[in-house]
Structure 1
Amino acid sequence: MPAWCEPSIEPSGGLRRRRFLGAAAALGLAGSSALGQDLTPHTPPPLELNMASRAELESLPGLGPSLVGLMLAARQQAPFQDGQDLARRVKGMGPKMRARLSAAGLRINGQPLDAAPAGGLRPASSPEA
């Protein structure tokens, strides 16, 4: 049997990798990209809608040139206050789109687009009998 076909007595590559990652974790390097893989979940950096450029906005999922144009035109009139303000002033900014853009890191005044207004929700008025 050729030498390259004989089983090796050294530990498998997977075991070596697990030992390496264990040692790296002990040294505080577990989430480091220096290990060749990022072990921490990826969260997109926040992007402020009232400050973002056209190119930054078009890079977000679901935003094309026409929708970005509507957003920029509305922003020129006045800065957006929150996600509800965006929905009122820009056609096509429904709850699903706002949730998608919030997940992609888009913010208004530091808040996600799908967040409740600062004053909270008002209770529905009940009809009096």
Structure 2
Amino acid sequence: MKFYLPLIAVASLSLLAACNKNDEPEVVGGPADPMAAELANAAPVELPPSVKANKQYRCKDNSLIFVDYMSDDKTAQLRTEKGGTATTLKAAEVGQPFTAEGFEVSGAGDDVTITVPGKGAQACHV
């Protein structure tokens, strides 16, 4: 039994020594990127704004208007129905009214004035 242990150890070491005997050179870093210069000089990517607040307004004519205010404070999404299509409204500067295609939301917070095509401007509140 004492004779077999050294023989097994020598056999297993010789098997391990034969591993990874590859004559091919190992490539470190991979091939050159053909767009590396373009990517280095590209303008930074700006992510779209996220939703900052969701408001549901009841207007003077008893209609509901749904407005999602975005984190950039220059964009809002307006819907006239809960699951309806959103209209993107933009403000020229922070604090200015959000406008687009006949829609306008002016004011801030819980009391605003909303204009929708086909209706005049009306006071709306949360």
Q: TM-score, normalised by structure 1?
A: 0.26
Structure with the greater alpha carbon radius of gyration: 2
Higher relative contact order (CA 8 A, sep 6+): 1
**Bigger helix share:** 1
Q: TM-score, normalised by structure 2?
A: 0.27
**Bigger strand share:** 2
